[in-house]
Structure 1
């Protein structure tokens, strides 16, 4: 993926600020009053056409799918609706059809994706079941099955992430830790941490917040209270999935690769030949934001985040995968396995064997 330069970000934010601030000021400054109703059309044009075009040329072009423009335009309409005085919008009856148009397009896309999935679902399930000997984790098996029958896209990445989250949060409670083949080593990284207690506390806080604020928001806006409730339910499912995925998916080492799945949020697969060194971490406790951009952080979140015990350096950047298909290139891996000495010895022994081949 092509990275975006700081200069492009600067120009994008500058032009975006000019477009948004000029449209806000024109309605707020008394010197500009009274305004003709046609000014509302100009604001709609800026937010539905101009801002998405700026986003395309500075951010999306050659990096992401142009389909994101539809979402940006829809958000732009929502922002314009908040900025433009209501009496000016009501003078243009056709503008009320704009959100209906966007909703129709979204519905069409969702139905089309659903049709493609349903049509190929039997083959996907068949390949998913047959992939068990080749890949050990649920998410890897699911992705391989999907990619055999569907074109790779961010939409497929999102679907895969959502199915994985639902599986681990709702259907994995009777499952055991992933099985590994002969000559593979397994390293847990959660047993000596308080990550379960931390996530249980977070879930408890979300449930209490949902009960307290749902009725308060409902008296003000039933729609917003319903949206907030859905978001809270989603957050609880995500935290449950994170607990289960961390418990069931340890780090495992094959003859040729190291596999990292840190919950449902982070994944990385590294060939032994790509590893430059494995050593005990002796760096600072707090890592700078700039340096952290190139680090795969496999240390679990707790009440107080612990310092990594193991650092792995790579010869060249490798792509780490995150939720919803987001990715970044990393050159270092930070870990805190339950048995750091065993991890250090076993991995270095494998690296020596790899060099001697």
Structure 2
């Protein structure tokens, strides 16, 4: 998971606080009276459209599934019921059903994806098992098997993401790191896994509190929020397992860089220009970040990369739900830096 920059988080909190505060004062200050009858609709627009859009651009985009925009809209509507007096809100009670319908559409999409997958399971499993000897990590094997039976599209990418999350979070606990390739861990000298364990604990506590709070307002909303929080916990569990089970891997012709379940990069050695010690700044500019694969784990205090790997031409990084970007270099911090450098550098000479 990509860490949320402090500047973005603070700006999001500032803007949302201004929106909620200004709307609250609008109804409470005598100087603002009388208010037009349509003022409730304007406040609803702020709470269920403007605030979720801010959440998307500052928090959700490229970090969490887009479905969390619906949760942000539900939370905005919950806030609106406390801010807007009853007489201004009654005429727009239909809004809540529109929001619930949106969440229902996401659930139906999940069921449709499951149905599509089940109809092709036998052939898919055979292809997946046959690829085990050639492709060392689960996401790469999964992507190849899906490509053989599903058209290349955003839907196929959603299949891959959902299956990877469920596999790592629920079914991978007895698995071990692939032994048929050179593998280099990158988490043992960091607090990355501890950070996700802390986030899971926080989500469990928050889920209970939010469920109780929302249940008094709307049982449906409380269960929707509970479902989304449970999904987030599965995502964090998948991230932990992917970090453990999918280290950086080196084969004769390929370098596989996977940073948890969130992003991965497979590069042929013929595409690698050089590998050298990283001597750049601790924090890259926003423009530089767009062209770099960041393989250093999120941590309580993130460390600088050990190595920078440059490419002859841009390479495609695969991220959640079919998102991708083109990068010209990768930053990594393997636990055994010297062995990793020798493994990569020796294959560059050979190429």
Query: TM-score w.r.t. structure 2 length?
Result: 0.70
RMSD value, Cα: 4.3
Query: Of the two structures, which has the highest relative contact order with CA contacts closer than 8 Å and spacing of 6 or more?
Result: 2
Q: Distance in 1 between matches of 2:69 and 2:188?
A: 44
In the alignment, does 2:247 pair up with 1:250?
yes
Give 1:8-157 correspondences, 5 Å limit: 82=80, 86-88=86-88, 90-91=90-91, 98-99=98-99, 102=102, 105-106=105-106, 108-157=108-157
Task: Report the Cα offset of residue 41 of structure 1.
Answer: 7.4
Task: Report the Cα offset of residue 156 of structure 1.
Answer: 3.1
* 1:186 alignment partner in structure 2: 182
| Aligned 8 A contact 2:275 2:341 in 1 | yes
Secondary structure of 1:132's aligned partner:
helix
Q: Distance in 1 between matches of 2:341 and 2:97?
A: 62
Note the alpha carbon deviations across 1:283-326, whole angstroms, 9 max, x for none. Answer: 23333333222111112234432222211111222111122322
Q: Distance in 1 between matches of 2:198 and 2:182?
A: 32
Q: Distance in 1 between matches of 2:100 and 2:209?
A: 29
| Aligned 8 A contact 1:161 1:324 in 2 | yes
Secondary structure of 2:316's aligned partner:
strand
Between structure 1 and structure 2, the one with the greater Rg is: 1
Listed as ranges, the gaps of 5+ residues in structure 1 are 1-16, 60-67
In the alignment, does 2:213 pair up with 1:220?
yes
* 1:13 alignment partner in structure 2: none
* 1:277 alignment partner in structure 2: 274
Note the alpha carbon deviations across 1:52-82, whole angstroms, 9 max, x for none. Answer: xx9xxxx9xxxxxxxx8x9979977986893
Number of residue pairs aligned between Structure 1 and Structure 2: 317
In the alignment, does 2:204 pair up with 1:207?
no
Q: Distance in 1 between matches of 2:179 and 2:292?
A: 28
* 1:3 alignment partner in structure 2: none
Q: Distance in 1 between matches of 2:112 and 2:120?
A: 13
* 1:164 alignment partner in structure 2: 164
Note the alpha carbon deviations across 1:113-140, whole angstroms, 9 max, x for none. Answer: 3332222222222222222233221111
| Aligned 8 A contact 1:309 1:337 in 2 | yes
2:302 to 281, 300, 305: 305
Note the alpha carbon deviations across 1:171-228, whole angstroms, 9 max, x for none. Answer: 2222221243xxxx51413365134xx42354256426634x5565455332566566
